[in-house]
Amino acid sequence: MYRWYRYRHDYGKHRELLDLIISWVVLSIAFGTGYIFKGNLVGLALAFIAVATAFVFHEIAHRQVARRYGLYARYKAWYTGLLAALIISLLTAKAFGNPFVIAAPGAVYIYAYMGIPPPDVEYRVALAGPLTNAILAAILLIASHFTVYPLKLYLTFIGSVNAWIAIFNLIPLPPLDGYKIFRYSITLWALVMLFAIVIYVLL
């Protein structure tokens, strides 16, 4: 997810790194709550690895595409969203055995140094995050067919986390990425969403 601003909201590199680490840890715990209740430390460690690929690559993809177009971009944690993700995942994991994770830990804040960026830049920046997750999930799905247990299980879980983060962020409601993509092209949004859902189901 990312937010667009016309004016610079200065957010230092050190604070960005801290926010990335905090978001990664909290989101990893959220995805790993089912393993926590089962006392499965290997599963919890796997959740940290899965979120490292899914969340970090998602936000970095937003940031790097924005910078490619000459825009200022920094990640900033959304602590309310992180708290909600943690609480809801704990409650659902306790009740149903598996967590439901609200995958909106923060956003990449973007602004133009000067002038107005081309109209297609917004959707390109928005698309970068979930598309990265969907592609990673597809690669892990393919790789899982050439491995055996327990590696197959690990790859499947990491792929599922990537696919879920793609699907959640593609929901066409503001401020999620899906809203910006949907507004630009319903067809493009539908294709990417369908791709992510198919991969998630196959995993």
Q: Which residues are catalytic?
A: 59
CA 56 to CA 53: how far, in whole Å? 6
- Phi, psi (rounded to 5 degrees) for 136: -60, -40
Give the separation between CA 22 and CA 77, rounded to whole angstroms.
8
Neighbours of 169 (CB within 10 A): 23
Residue 108 DSSP label: E
Encoding tokens for residue 93?
């994991």
Q: Which residues, including other chains, have CB under 8 Å from residue 15's CB and lie 6 or more apart?
A: none
